[in-house]
Structure 1
Amino acid sequence: MSDNVAHALSGAGGGIVSMALTYPLVSISSRLQVQKNDDSKDAYKNTADAFFKILAKEGPKGLYAGLSSGVFGIAITNGIYYYCYEAVKAVFEKAKAQGKPMSTGESMLAGALAGCAVVLATNPIWTINTRLTVRKGIDGEAKLNMFTVGRSIVEKEGVAGLYAGVKAALILVINPIIQYTVFEQLKNKVSKSRALSNFDFFLLGAISKLCATGITYPYLVIKSRMQSAQGDDEKYPSIWEGFKKIIATEGVKGLYKGISSKIVQSVLTAAFLFMAKEILFDWAVWILVVAGARKARVAAGKA
């Protein structure tokens, strides 16, 4: 068996660790993104204000609303992404001289293909997670789990409801493309001079995610709003209409709501993810060897 499965398992494990550590920031960022009325007394003014208001009104569990679907979603997302990315990467590297890394263009293409596969497979999970996190479109406490919320969406909006914001999500494939391209290129440069440590992976993950999130954030706001339950007069029929409505009613700053908490969360998540993935990779290989899915003679090397 190739290293693709080991990369998928370690990527999923790294995603779970990073999501669990940073989820309150995910929750706050999502609520700020979908908030349109900043004038009411209950409106969140900024990240700190949102933190204390959620804590006061809902308790600590409010900061972790939708955590189970978020952890499940990130595990599936990273598992699919890393499997597909490493599979495409292996094809490119096989066609080159041994040991020669991918070019920037090849890194971007591998990221695009892996990203599209992830979006099509996981958009329903993230739609459900958004509804659970921002508490919109959910009737009563009894429905606060991913399965009942998913069923409710299908009953009210059809299967298409689970794919709300999918076009924006496909455009946002550029986010991991930027992230993993920057990461791979920086990793290749640093590795020429010395062996990378766990802290190097932490730092490179943070830098690459900072670049990606800063560039693509407006699309993230529109995707979150499309995925949250909204009245007919609030719905965005297209991404372009979303841009126009937000700018007309909230100004350009509306496209960047919650960016401070999102950047902190994204950078920390990516940093923990890359570091945890590298640590978990050898464990994933060992598990596959023990399970008989991989030969022990190749267990020591990484793809």
Structure 2
Amino acid sequence: MSDALINGLAGAGGGIIAQLLTYPLQTVNTRQQTERDPSEPSARDGTIRQMYQVVKQEGWERLYGGLTPSLVGTAASQGVYYYFYQVFRNRAETAAHDHWKKGIGDGSVGMFESLVVAALSGCVNVLLTNPIWVVVTRMQTHKKTDKKQVTCALPCVPDEAIQAAIIEHPSYRTSHVVQELYDEAGLWGFWKGVVPTLIMVSNPSIQFMLYETLLKKMKIKRASNRKGADGFTALEIFLLGAVAKLGATVVTYPLLVVKSRLQVKRGHDDDKRRQYKGTFDAITKMIRYEGLSGFYKGMSTKVVQSVFAAAVLFMVKEELVKAARFLVTGELRSINHSRSKARS
């Protein structure tokens, strides 16, 4: 089994575990990002309060709306990302090693090369998996309609059978969303928000650049202290992943808000302020009608959710990689050993 495939499968497994642990926070954060009316009570509620309101008004299951396609998307995204990341990383390390033999550089992959590797992996991932995330965003932002709301919305409809049909159809299944998207915009509808999402590749790119840089510095420090450079613990990987994701999230969060705005379903009665023709139109309208603060809605929730999820993902992924290598080769190697071996 190739190193890239091992990393891809481990990334998928780590992503699924991280998603299961943090999904309710992700659902609330998506709603915060797409809420545009500051007069609404939900726009002023904190994360815990908003989670309570969702459970009270819509039930526990709404915190997990879109979980199934999200898990599929997470497994696909992390699998694709880590697979191609390892492929590109191996090539970058080989090139750095060749340059070192010629007397150029120190034989290691630099910050810029790490950024390029992560960006290329991210672009491949986005183009392949964006349709899944459009469906997930729709399902996360869908809100159940209760009897009281339907009666008020349709006061002139005497046919109780029609109202009952609406009330008794609380599910918003993946197949419904797929059909809805296709009816709205054809196949292109599944790539809504792909432009800001491609720009958002800078998030994992920055994240991995910081992660690899911190990992490299810790390795050098350990070597200088004669403690050995191999064998990072799960806790150390957890903390490195958390710090790297925190830095990336703070820098790129406004783009995440724009992406969510473009992907969420719009009502026919929405005014022009809530209808976006594209990325640039969304940005200009948000600045005009909401101010710069609109780009940072729900950021505190996102920081908690994404930083914890990324830390768990990195930790679990590296443990799965070591376990897979042990099963395949009988060698319990760390990520640092495998990388340093290529340069020795």
What TM-score results when the alignment is normalised by the length of structure 2? Answer: 0.80
Q: Shift of residue 106 of structure 1?
A: 0.7
Greater radius of gyration (CA): 2
Superposition deviation, residue 44 in structure 1: 5.2
CA distance in 2, matches of 1:136, 1:230: 13
Kindly report which structure 2 residues correspond to 1:110-125, keeping only aligned pairs within 5 A, or say none. Answer: 110-125=117-132
- Tell me the equivalent position of 1:149: 177
Range 7-16 or range 273-282, more displaced: 273-282
Q: Deviations over 1:230-257 (max 9, x none)?
A: 2473222232221221121112111100
CA distance in 1, matches of 2:282, 2:264: 13
Q: How far does residue 265 in structure 1 lie from its aligned partner after superposition?
A: 0.3
SS of 1:96's equivalent?
Answer: helix
Change (3 A) 1:301 1:257: closer
- The equivalent of 1:129 in structure 2 is 136
- The aligned counterpart of 2:342 is none
Provide the identity percentage: 37
The 8 Å contact of residues 123 and 163 in structure 1, kept in 2 or not, is answered as yes
- Give the whole-Å Cα distance in 1 for the aligned partners of 2:110 and 2:194: 29
Structure 2 CA distance for aligned equivalents of residues 256 and 101 of structure 1: 37
Structure 2 partner of 1:278: 318
Aligned residue for 2:96, secondary structure, equals coil
Cα displacement string for residues 74-131 of structure 1 (whole angstroms, at most 9, x for unaligned residues): 1111101111111011111112338943111110110111000011001100000000
Matched AA of 1:51: M
Task: Report if the CA contact (8 A) 2:58-2:144 is conserved.
Answer: no
Give the gaps of 5 or more residues in structure 2: 99-105, 146-165, 223-228, 339-344
Q: Is the 8 A contact 1:206 1:268 kept in 2?
A: yes
Aligned match of 1:66: 66
| Match of residue 303 from structure 2 | 263
Alpha-carbon distance between aligned partners in 1 of 2:89 and 2:74, rounded to the nearest angstrom:
21
**Is 1:201 the counterpart of 2:237 in the alignment?**
yes
Alpha-carbon distance in structure 2 between the residues aligned to 1:26 and 1:260: 12
Gaps of 5+ in 1: 290-295
SS in structure 2 of the partner of residue 128 of structure 1: helix
Aligned length: 296
Counterparts of 1:44 and 1:162, CA distance in 2: 31
User: Is 1:31 the equivalent of 2:59?
Assistant: no
Deviating above 6 A after TM superposition, structure 1's stretches of 4 or more consecutive aligned residues are 136-140
| Structure 2 residue aligned with 1:292 | none
Q: 1:155 Cα deviation (Å)?
A: 2.5
Matched, 1:15 2:15: yes
1:290-301 equivalence runs, <5 A: 296=329
Q: Which residue of 1 aligns with 2:195?
A: 167
